[in-house]
Structure 1
Amino acid sequence: MPATHPIPLVSIITVNYNQPEVTCEFLASLDKSRFRNFEVIVVDNGSRLDPTAMIHQRFPEVTVIRSDDNLGFAGGNNLGLEKARGEYIFMVNNDTEITESLLDRLLEAFQSEKKVGMVSPKIKYFHHPDTIQYAGFTSMNACTGQAFPIGKMEKDHGQYNQKRPTYSAHGAAMMLSRKVIDEVGKMPEVYFLYYEEWDWSTQIRKAGYKILFEGNAEIFHKESLSVGKMSTLKTYYHIRNRILYMRRNVQAWQLAVFTFFLLFAIAPKALVQYICKFQPDHVSAFLRGIYWNIRTPLTPSHE
Structure 2
Amino acid sequence: MSTEAPYAGLTPDHVLDAVTACGLWPDGRLLALNSYENRVWQVGLEDTSPVVAKFYRPRRWSDAAILEEHAFALELAAAELPMVAPLVFGGRTLLHHDGFRYALTPRRGGRAPSLESAEQLEWLGRLIARMHLIGARSSFAHRGRVDRATLIEQPMQAVLASSLLPSPLQARYRVAAQRVDEAVAQRFEAVGPVRQLRLHGDCHPGNVLWTDDGPHFVDLDDARMGPAVQDLWMLAGDEPAMDAVLTGYQQFREFDYTELALVPALRAMRQLHYAGWIASRWHDPAFPAAFPFAAESRWWEQHVDDLHELADGLGAG
TM-score, normalised with respect to structure 2: 0.29
Q: Point out which structure has higher relative CO (alpha carbons under 8 A, 6+ apart).
A: 2
Larger Rg: 2
Greater percentage in helix:
2
